[in-house]
A and B are shown apart, each in its own frame.
Chain A
Amino acid sequence: MDFGNILSFTAGQILGVDAIVYVLIAIGLNLHFGYAGLLNFGQAGFVAVGAYGVGMSVAIFDLPLGVGIAVGLAGAVLLALLLGIPTLRLRADYLAIVTIAAAEIFRLVVRSAVLRDYTGGSDGINGMARQFYALNPIPEGSYGFGPWTYTERGAWIRLIGLLLIILCLVVVALLVRSPWGRVLKGIREDEDAVRSLGKNVFSYKMQVLVLGGVIGCLAGFVLSLSRGSVQPDNYSTQLTFLAYTALLLGGAARVLGPVAGAVILWVTLAFTDTALRQAVGAGYIPTWLMDGVQVGQVRFILVGLALMLLMAFRPQGIFGDRRELALDVR
């Protein structure tokens, strides 16, 4: 086994595009679930709207990148309004049902054969990142060191991704420490109490649904532009639930929770993947127990196990405050 290889691949994931994308998705979910208590199980839908908004505009309708970004953002706002207006007056579980269904409907519609000319059907959209990389101010070459060595393209997408993360974190940090954030946390605890104090609960829930959805849509931009393509099946419910995993891992209702959670999640996935693969290759794990193909599944089993242990022994996540969980929330 090549431990250097395992470690460097694992370390590389700290700045991996996957980690960056999941940090963004989880920041949006943190606003929804962590601060406002909204059960949005359709965050993948917002990510997909971002990806398809920019992908369809640029690659199929030949529009400038800026227009594509605007289309994606407008789409995310529209989706939030569409989901929120009928459900936000109802109990929390209705939002969960409607969002998970809406995200799946969106995915199944864009991958349908009928819309092949507009959405690329099940093949998705390719060659959509040309304009984005044409904007790259970084000259050709190799940047960084060790496991963090990138081409100018890799550096450019990471730069944009990190800037977006910083922007979102600053906005979230300012908001949750403000009276606006106080109303959100109040809604999470008991929305009738907040209503009885003269706050328009529906309006606040709508605002946070839009804001968190837009942050999810930014993740869709980064994901699709980094790959230069949009694949409909990347936006299934698994995306949402992995992002929830990252959020709970880091600690909900903590500004940096999503960052820590997403990075730890991807580092763990990378480590178990390479370590198991090498162990199988070197014969440490007999093939009757597991072969190289099965590693992809087994690593998720191990990560699931790690999560269960975490929830059992540190249910508040990495950054959480155990004191809060011990409270009688009735």
Chain B
Amino acid sequence: MSDEPTRSAAATAALAEVERRPGAPKPDPILVADGVVRRFGGLTAVDVEHLEVQRGAITALIGPNGAGKTTFFNLLTGFDRPDSGTWSFDGQSLAGVSAHRVARGGMVRTFQLTKALARLTVMENMRLGAQAQRGENILSALLKPLWRRQEEEITARADELLRRFRLDAKREDFAGSLSGGQRKLLEMARALMTQPRMVMLDEPMAGVNPALTQSLLGHVKDLREQGMTVLFVEHDMDAVRDISDWVVVMAQGRIVSEGPPAHVMSDPEVIDAYLGAHHDQDLADRAASDDPEVAGASVQPAASTTDPEPRP
């Protein structure tokens, strides 16, 4: 915990000099995408000219519904094929690489709709995440002595992660019996079993109760402290503001803005695309600020009755 400010500060410092515009080059990019286009019939779901993701930082990918964030995620992780485009992870081209090879290469993802493997226990879910298991070969699987040692090491590592994610009490339960939030935690812990260099989280906070959100945010920050790069899609603006070093905004398939959270949230492009003018106010404030207008309208009955436009 002592070096938490250093990693976070390092990421902030590294990004301080970066231009605040779509496609801005980063000092040390781990992921670089160029001209990634995905069309579904006549609809262009993703059209990203250039994107760089800074190593060791937490980058948020935000945008209104249908902006193409998840599609872009799917393209980057090999779960979908683009119509055109190239991208590289840590210097290695990933275009056309299948999903399981992307994961083996150190870039692991989670899903918007959590994919806990219901009829496997929590522990079996975790073990499945470990890479290069000798026992996963059909022939050596028949001879337990060949993989027993490795299985013990994997189990030890899984136990440690389960403790960190407070799932150790659920170790032998079926993953299907976990709550929605616990499934999110399990999915993140399972992804870490692959020992990734970059973690892609698709809406990690969706459907999680507020108490668990804090702990999830803590875990995401932990990933950065351990030297991992995080790219995550999220709708919860408080969460984005809280943890991200850099924010990328997508709208209608394109990247419309980039910058630190504070910059992006005041960028008129973003506000137009997505957030609305009242994004930084609480609902209570908004109601209060709306009041004079409502009152104003009510003292001008003639104007309000002749107004053909209904009030929004």
Q: Which A residues have a C-beta under 8 Å from some C-beta of B? A: 171, 174-175, 178-183, 185-186, 188-190, 192-201, 207, 211, 323-324, 327-330
13 pairs from A and B in contact (CB 8 Å cutoff): A178-B135, A178-B142, A179-B133, A179-B135, A183-B128, A183-B136, A185-B120, A185-B124, A192-B115, A196-B115, A197-B103, A327-B119, A330-B118
Contacts of A182 in B (CB 8 A): 120, 124, 127-128, 136
- Bound Cα distance from A327 to B116, whole angstroms: 12
Partner of B117 from A178, A179, A185, A211 at Cβ < 8 Å: A185
Contact assessment for B151 and A179 in the assembled complex, using a CB-CB cutoff below 8 Å: yes
- Min Cβ gap B275→A in Å is 31
- Min Cβ gap A301→B in Å is 33
Using A327-B177, A329-B176 as known contacts, say yes or no to A189 and B118 having CB atoms under 8 A apart. Answer: yes
- Min Cβ gap A18→B in Å is 30
- Bound Cα distance from A186 to B133, whole angstroms: 15
- Bound Cα distance from A119 to B170, whole angstroms: 58
Using A183-B136, A193-B115 as known contacts, say yes or no to A198 and B141 having CB atoms under 8 A apart. Answer: no
> Does any Cβ of A come within 8 Å of B108's Cβ?
yes
Using A179-B127, A179-B133, A180-B136 as known contacts, say yes or no to A189 and B111 having CB atoms under 8 A apart. Answer: no
- Min Cβ gap A120→B in Å is 36
Contact assessment for A329 and B103 in the assembled complex, using a CB-CB cutoff below 8 Å: no
Contact assessment for A174 and B117 in the assembled complex, using a CB-CB cutoff below 8 Å: no
Shortest beta-carbon contacts, A-B, top 6: A327-B176, A179-B135, A178-B141, A180-B141, A193-B115, A198-B103
Given contacts A196-B109, A201-B100, A323-B174, 7 further A-B contacts (CB under 8 A): A175-B138, A185-B124, A192-B79, A193-B116, A194-B128, A195-B79, A327-B176
Using A178-B144, A192-B79, A197-B108 as known contacts, say yes or no to A328 and B138 having CB atoms under 8 A apart. Answer: no
> Does any Cβ of A come within 8 Å of B129's Cβ?
yes
Contacts of B151 in A (CB 8 A): 179
Number of A-B contacts (CB under 8 A): 111
- Min Cβ gap B307→A in Å is 48
Contact assessment for B136 and A179 in the assembled complex, using a CB-CB cutoff below 8 Å: yes
Contact assessment for A193 and B117 in the assembled complex, using a CB-CB cutoff below 8 Å: yes
Interface size, B (range): 35 or more
- Min Cβ gap A182→B in Å is 6
- Min Cβ gap B138→A in Å is 5
Contacts of A198 in B (CB 8 A): 100-101, 103-104, 108, 131, 194
Contacts of A211 in B (CB 8 A): 138
Most buried by B among A183, A185, A189, A323: A189
> Does any Cβ of A come within 8 Å of B147's Cβ?
yes
Using A196-B109, A199-B100 as known contacts, say yes or no to A185 and B141 having CB atoms under 8 A apart. Answer: no
> Does any Cβ of A come within 8 Å of B99's Cβ?
yes
Within 42-82 of B, Cβ neighbours of A (below 8 Å) are at 77, 79
> Does any Cβ of A come within 8 Å of B137's Cβ?
yes
- Bound Cα distance from A190 to B110, whole angstroms: 13
Partner of A195 from B100, B110, B120, B138 at Cβ < 8 Å: B100
Partner of B103 from A171, A178, A195, A327 at Cβ < 8 Å: A195
> Does any Cβ of A come within 8 Å of B224's Cβ?
no
Contacts of B129 in A (CB 8 A): 197
Contact assessment for B142 and A174 in the assembled complex, using a CB-CB cutoff below 8 Å: yes
- Min Cβ gap A205→B in Å is 12
Most buried by A among B104, B129, B141, B147: B141
Contact assessment for B119 and A324 in the assembled complex, using a CB-CB cutoff below 8 Å: yes
Contacts of A183 in B (CB 8 A): 128, 136
Contact assessment for B120 and A328 in the assembled complex, using a CB-CB cutoff below 8 Å: no
Contact assessment for A197 and B128 in the assembled complex, using a CB-CB cutoff below 8 Å: yes
- Min Cβ gap B17→A in Å is 35
Contact assessment for A180 and B135 in the assembled complex, using a CB-CB cutoff below 8 Å: yes
- Min Cβ gap A28→B in Å is 15
Contact assessment for B124 and A180 in the assembled complex, using a CB-CB cutoff below 8 Å: no
- Min Cβ gap B243→A in Å is 22
Contacts of B109 in A (CB 8 A): 196
- Bound Cα distance from A193 to B187, whole angstroms: 9
**B110's closest neighbor in chain A, by CB?**
A196
Contacts of B124 in A (CB 8 A): 182, 185
> Does any Cβ of A come within 8 Å of B190's Cβ?
yes
Partner of A329 from B100, B119, B137, B138 at Cβ < 8 Å: B119
**B101's closest neighbor in chain A, by CB?**
A198
- Bound Cα distance from A298 to B77, whole angstroms: 56
- Bound Cα distance from A196 to B128, whole angstroms: 11
Contacts of B138 in A (CB 8 A): 175, 180, 207, 211
